[in-house]
């Protein structure tokens, strides 16, 4: 069985940090190349006979959040509150302990996976952030404000991802939220004639 530990390699990339989830999955940070501090987040869900993993994206969690909202708005709101807590630097374990029982029974990803993966995905967005136009920032500020979320001062890059969660919480379909954020939605583009 391959070792999933700091310093080991996965698909040629060195593991920089690792968390083992209660279901046996691993969330790992591996080196990446956009900047000196850049990293990639991987979820390893199988190690034997070979490693199988996915690269989770904030869009996956936005879609999952939408499904949770459709199932139970009150419990889904607690998921968003837990995400905001980790965005504001609460430890994942503390947010998990506080909210786990409040979201029990929701479909989709479990809260442990959501929080550990998003914690690093949002951090990655901050690390790679190089700026955005002022009018775009004002729009993001307005969306966050509608959800009564004050962005942490040092989390500028991840504000766009958080605004997606807010837009969905405010009733926008995820595809519409992605398009408003200028994120690629390939099937929609293809329907409009893009190749």
Predicted confidence (pLDDT) per residue in 67-92, tens digit: 999 999 999 999 999 999 999 999 99
Burial 23-38 (b: 16+ CB within 10 A, else e): eebbbbbbebeeeeee
95 and 125, same domain (yes or no): yes
**Do 63 and 146 have their domain in common?**
yes
Write out the DSSP string of 95-138: HHHHHGGGGTT-SSS-HHHHHHHHHHHHHHHHHT-----HHHHH
Domain that holds residue 118: 58-189
Give residue 184's pLDDT: 66
Note whether residue 3 is domain-resident: no
Q: Does residue 49 have a cis bond before it (omega within 30 degrees)?
A: yes
Write down which residue in 54, 72, 89 finishes a domain: 54
With a threshold of 0.75, does the pTM exceed it?
Answer: yes
Alpha carbon of residue 132 to chain centroid: 20
User: Does 14 fall in a domain?
Assistant: yes
Domain boundary among 36, 54, 72: 54
Dump pLDDT digits (tens) for 33-77.
877 788 999 999 998 888 899 999 999 999 999 999 999 999 999
Instruction: Clarify whether residues 77 and 158 are in a common domain.
Output: yes
Q: Are residues 100 and 172 in the same domain?
A: yes
Q: Are residues 173 and 94 in the same domain?
A: yes
User: Does one domain contain both 76 and 147?
Assistant: yes
**Do residue 91 and residue 144 come from a single domain?**
yes
Banded model confidence at residue 193, pLDDT cuts 50, 70, 90: low
Instruction: Quickly count: other Cβ atoms within 10 Å of residue 89's Cβ.
Output: 10
- Considering the domain architecture, whether residues 85 and 26 belong to the same structural domain is answered as no
165 in the same domain as 112:
yes
d(CA 58, CA 136): 19
Per-residue pLDDT reduced to its tens digit, 17-34:
999 999 999 999 999 887
151 pLDDT higher than 50: yes
Same domain, yes or no: 15 and 104: no
Q: Is residue 2 part of a domain?
A: no
148: in domain = yes
Residue 132's pLDDT is 92
Instruction: Say whether both 101 and 126 belong to one domain.
Output: yes
Domain count, the chain: 2
Q: Please say if the pLDDT value at position 192 is more than 60.
A: no
In a domain, 1, yes or no: no
User: Rounded to whole angstroms, how far apart are CA atoms 159 and 28?
Assistant: 22
Q: Is there a single domain that holds both residue 98 and residue 157? A: yes
Which tens digit of pLDDT belongs to each residue from 95-110?
999 999 999 999 999 9
Residue 143 has pLDDT above 90, yes or no: yes
Place of tokens 């991802």: 161
Q: What is the mean pLDDT of residues 179-192?
A: 63
Domain contains 135: yes
Q: Above pLDDT 70, what percent of the chain?
A: 93
Report the pLDDT value the prediction gives residue 179, as an integer from 0 to 100: 87
Could you tell me which residues are beta bridge partners of residue 54? Answer: 43
């Amino acid at each position: 069985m391959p070792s999933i530990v700091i310093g080991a390699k996965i698909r040629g990339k060195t593991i920089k940090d690792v968390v083992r989830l209660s279901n046996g999955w691993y969330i790992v940070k591996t080196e990446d190349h956009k900047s000196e501090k850049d990293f990639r987040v991987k979820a390893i869900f199988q190690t034997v006979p070979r490693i199988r993993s996915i690269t989770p994206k904030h869009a996956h969690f936005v879609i999952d959040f939408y499904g949770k909202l459709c199932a139970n708005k009150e419990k889904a709101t607690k998921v968003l509150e837990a995400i905001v807590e980790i965005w504001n630097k609460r430890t994942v374990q503390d947010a998990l302990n506080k909210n786990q029982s409040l979201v029990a029974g929701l479909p989709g990803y479990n809260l442990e996976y959501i929080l550990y993966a998003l914690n690093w995905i949002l951090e990655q967005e901050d690390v790679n952030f190089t700026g955005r136009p002022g009018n775009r920032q004002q729009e993001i500020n307005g969306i966050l404000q509608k959800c009564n979320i004050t962005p942490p001062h040092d989390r500028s890059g991840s504000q766009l991802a958080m605004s997606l969660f807010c837009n969905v919480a405010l009733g926008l379909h995820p595809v519409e939220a992605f398009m408003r954020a200028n994120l690629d939605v390939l099937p929609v583009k293809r329907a409009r004639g893009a190749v």
